Structure 1
Amino acid sequence: MANKSTLSEIEKRFDNDVDRFSNLETGQASTVDALFNMELITDGIAQLYPDLTQLLDIGCGAGNYTVKLLSKLKAAPNVTLADLSQPMLERAKERSASLTDGEVTTIKGDFRKLPLQENTYDVIIATAVLHHLRDDEDWETAFMKLHRLLKPGGSLWVFDLVSHDEPKIQDLLYRQKYGQFLANLKDENYRDHVFDYIEKEDSPRSTQYQIDVAQKAGFRSTEVLHKHLCFTSYVAFK
């Protein structure tokens, strides 16, 4: 893990990519089933929490998931947007503020260290952020904090890159199948570019690992919503 990107390096990369990540259609082009999962997660939240009052989006980027969710709600929740990148936060707030009569708050920094109020949020969205966690202690500490931030009955909604514990399955689904997906998007150079920054920046864990960590942190149940190759979406309930 010592050679992985630092938080400041990750912040700098996202500071320079606001416009791309502001596009609902292409913001996550390198992600398998990106639009499907965005619709799935936001539909799920809208159905389970029609009277949503407090939403937290960690690693919100330019706010795509929050924007999509607010467009589906009759409720006008308060929204807290958290991200390492100030330009991303500014864009996310700009896009979200017109979609709710609630207060839209931005807070810059690593969600693990932010002074967020416990037992406050109905819903936490965490998309393409948890793969930046590192060792076991980091994962466990992060999930315990997310659990504390939720109200009883609240839930954590995740969509992210995952690994596989069986090496041959990892090779098949990641290197071969996902590699072909990336090459088909552009070319083999693009595939290699994506693989290089994943190797440098990310440290994903398997779906089962994350479910086990969620259970250890106190979440009462977890539902896998969708899995395709090395990407998974799930919800964990407090």
Structure 2
Amino acid sequence: MKKSTVTEIRERFDNEVERFSNLETGQVATMDAKMVLELITCTARAVKPQAKTILDVGCGAGNYTLKMLSKVSDLDCTLIDLSQNMLDKAQERVSAATSGKVQTIQGDIREIELPQNHFDIILAGAVLHHLRTDAEWELVFKKLFDSLTPGGCLLISDLLIQDHPEVNKLVWKMYANYLQQHGGAEYQQKVFDYIEKEDTPRSMTFQLELMKKVGFSSTEILHKNACFGAFGGIK
């Protein structure tokens, strides 16, 4: 199947701002969304308790940054997203929660220039699975690594595949069952159809190895449930 273009992905998210604005539940289609939001931001605080700057890649309506601000106050926040509608919502919500600077950048992380050694915390929630080729993955991981301050952390929560095909079938069957319990068979098929069209997830193993390759001094696995995981690297 031909994958969605960047424009098609942007247009979809332009129309889904409210669905991505719920801090209490997170994304229902994402397993353990609320718990992972808490876990990732607690981890960022543990790694960088004196953090001053945060970059939220694919920020959506700003949930990850808002949760981070509940742990470390008054951060200078840089928010990146394809969708201007999402950025407008995120800027409104985040600006009300910090006395720090709030900068928004509309665009594709593959093309945006980032400052070097600048961000104490980088969060990437449910966004990197839109990367396509190995070269794109390495480009983005290197860009994010270079943009971190020494001792800074990149923390990711995302959709994943498994490296072994039979294990991959198993975890995606688990996810199908989860979706059916929440919305029935039709809902499960709808989610699987847009994943097939829009997403190209990679395994956690692939991403952790890539982190080491681009220079991260250590990596951490925080959580894994079926085809969703939370993990990261420290510069």
TM-score band by shorter chain is over 0.9
* Preserved CA contact (<8 Å) 1:20 1:26: no
Counterpart of 1:55 in structure 2 is 54
- Which residue is 2:9 aligned to? 10
The normalised TM-score by structure 2 is: 0.97
Shift of 1:44: 1.3
Spell out, residue by residue over 1:77-133, the C-alpha distance to the aligned partner (whole angstroms, 9 max, x if none).
100000000010010011111211110000000112112211110010001011001
Q: Residue in 2 aligned with 1:111? A: 109
Instruction: Kindly state the Cα deviation for residue 64 of structure 1 after the two structures are TM-superposed.
Output: 0.4
Residue aligning to 2:226: 229
> 1:33 and 2:32 equivalent?
yes
Task: Tell me how many residue pairs correspond in the alignment.
Answer: 235
Q: How well do the aligned residues superpose, as a CA RMSD in angstroms?
A: 1.0
TM-score if structure 1 supplies the norm length? 0.96
Residue pair 2:208, 2:232 contacting (<8 A) in 1 also: no
Describe the superposition over 1:165-202 as per-residue Cα deviations: whole angstroms up to 9, x where unpaired: 1111111111x110000000011000000000000000
- Measure, in 1, the Cα distance between the counterparts of 2:74 and 2:66: 12
Q: Deviations over 1:212-235 (max 9, x none)?
A: 111111111110000010001012
Superposition map of 1:185-224 within 5 A: 185-224=182-221
Aligned residue for 1:118, secondary structure, equals: coil
| Partner residue of 2:92 out of 87, 90, 94 | 94
1:26-55 alpha-carbon deviations (Å, 9 max, x no partner): 441100110110010111122332221110
**d(CA) in 2 for partners of 1:116, 1:211:** 22
Matched residue SS, 1:187: helix
> Which structure 1 residue ranges, 5 or more long, are not aligned?
none
What CA distance in whole angstroms lies between the structure 1 residues aligned with 2:161 and 2:82? 24
Q: Conserved in 1, the CA contact under 8 Å of 2:26 and 2:34?
A: no
Task: Name the SS for the 1:28 alignment partner.
Answer: coil
Q: Residues 3-37 of structure 1, C-alpha deviation per residue, up to 9 Å, x if partnerless? A: 11111000000000001101113441100110110
1:25 partner amino acid: E
Per-residue CA shift, 1:119-148, capped at 9, x if unaligned? 110010001011001111111111111111
Matches within 5 A, 1:140-155: 140-155=138-153
**Which of 125, 136, 139 does residue 138 from structure 1 map onto?**
136
Aligned to 1:173: 171
Counterpart mapping for 1:71-82 below 5 A: 71-73=70-72, 75-82=73-80
Distance in structure 2 (CA, Å) of the matches to 1:84 and 1:21: 14
Separation of aligned partners in 2, 1:27 and 1:86: 20
Identity fraction in percent: 49
User: Which consecutive unaligned segments of at least 5 residues does structure 2 have?
Assistant: none
Aligned mates of 2:33, 2:22 — CA distance in 1 = 12
CA contact (8 A) 1:52 1:76 kept: no
Cα distance between partner residues in 2 of 1:49 and 1:109: 27
